[in-house]
Amino acid sequence: MPTTKKIALITGANKGIGFEVSKQIARTGVTVLMGARNKAAGEEAVAKLVAEGLDARFLHLDITDAATVAAAAAKIEADFGQLDILVNNAGIIDHADGPPSTASLDAVDRTLRTNFFGPIAVTQALLPLLRKAPAARIVNVSSGLGSLTQNGDPNYFGAFAKFLGYNSSKAALNMLTVQLAYELRDTPIKVNSADPGYTATDLNENRGTQTIEEGSAETIRLALLPDDGPTGTYSDKDGIVPW
Ligand SMILES: NC(=O)c1ccc[n+]([C@@H]2O[C@H](COP(=O)([O-])OP(=O)(O)OC[C@H]3O[C@@H](n4cnc5c(N)ncnc54)[C@H](OP(=O)(O)O)[C@@H]3O)[C@@H](O)[C@H]2O)c1
């Protein structure tokens, strides 16, 4: 059934940036579907937002598992008939990833499957429902490490972080943003990449220098863009990031 209340899906919402993005978007009155591959962790995260009086619901979603992607899309269609906001947030860094001379091929493969193929599968499954919303937003949670320009700059503060699989996966995710924004240029749908910045989460054993609130800000802004907002961009909380 079409609904007037906006519906958002955040992937990897049980912790870290995905959890914070879910909370902040739900606080604006949006119904938030919290995607998680682990049912117990997902339901625990949902319970925290429901305890705050927010409209949050668990959605079982492993973005590398075609069956759960299809089931999640079917459930959103049956329950809501449309999707207003998709945040492709779920991502990994693999411990066997590393610089080009030593990165494990299996690790590069695993990383691309989650960080690149996952968002493609989720986006393709949900695009029919995003088209049914009046003005949908898609945010791909990228990274400054996905910037080819910054990877080639020895003075970039993240220059030490040469993870062939991870950095390539985010560069590829940026290509999804650019190409999808182009494909949807004559629709009200906006597609953008967010760089959270180096943020203390489990992804980096909490070594990141920003708080989770700071690291979530740009993703939230892009998820709630007004109709005159941009599409096909790559930005962090301080502005445009070079591709
Ligand atoms: N933290 C940073 O400094 C930083 C910087 C730039 C970009 N990012 C990006 O920000 C996003 C969120 O990362 P984070 O820092 O919040 O990391 P995090 O705390 O480790 O959270 C990652 C989330 O992704 C989920 N996930 C991983 N693989 C999944 C799959 N196959 N299906 C569904 N969910 C899956 C995890 O679920 P489980 O709990 O089940 O593992 C978890 O909920 C990632 O895309 C990351 O690359 C982070």
Sketch the domain layout of the chain as residue ranges.
7-240
* Region 138-148 average pLDDT: 98
Active site residues: 166
* Region 78-100 average pLDDT: 98
* Region 135-149 average pLDDT: 98
CATH 3.40.50.720 applies to domain 7-240: yes
Atom of ligand 1 nearest to the CA of 208: 3
Q: Determine the pLDDT at residue 142.
A: 98
Q: Determine the pLDDT at residue 44.
A: 98
H runs (alpha helix) in the chain: 16-26, 39-51, 66-79, 105-112, 118-132, 148-151, 164-183, 212-223
Residue 6 has pLDDT above 60, yes or no: yes
β-sheet with 239-240: strand ranges across: 56-60, 31-36, 7-10, 85-88, 137-141, 190-194, 234-236, 239-240
Burial 193-220 (b: 16+ CB within 10 A, else e): bbbbbbbbbebeeeebebebebbbbbbb
Query: 70: helix, coil or strand?
Result: helix
Which percentage of the chain shows pLDDT scores above 70?
Answer: 99
* Region 109-134 average pLDDT: 98
* Region 45-64 average pLDDT: 98
> Smallest Cα–Cα separation from 96: which of 107, 86, 87, 105?
107
Average pLDDT of every residue of the chain = 97
CA distance 225 to 76: 22
Residue 2 has pLDDT above 60, yes or no: no
* Region 95-108 average pLDDT: 98
Atom of ligand 1 nearest to the CA of 41: 39
The CA 1 to ligand 1 mean position distance, Å, reads 31
Q: Determine the pLDDT at residue 3.
A: 55
**Mutational test site, ligand 1, from 110, 203, 212, max ligand atoms within 8 Å of CB:** 203
Atom of ligand 1 nearest to the CA of 144: 6
* Region 91-99 average pLDDT: 98
β-strand pairing of 85-88 with 190-194:
unpaired
Are 182 and 118 a contacting pair, CB within 8 Å? no
* Region 215-225 average pLDDT: 98
Confidence tier at 4 by pLDDT (50, 70, 90):
confident
- Model pTM above 0.95: yes
Residue 141 has pLDDT above 60, yes or no: yes
CA distance 218 to 170: 16
> Smallest Cα–Cα separation from 136: which of 121, 123, 153?
123
Residue 67 has pLDDT above 60, yes or no: yes
What are 161-177's pLDDT values in tens digits?
999 999 999 999 999 99
- Cβ of 37 below 6 Å from ligand 1: yes
Are 80 and 63 a contacting pair, CB within 8 Å? no
β-strand pairing of 239-240 with 234-236:
antiparallel
Q: Which of 3-7, 55-59, 166-170, 179-183 has the lowest mean pLDDT?
A: 3-7
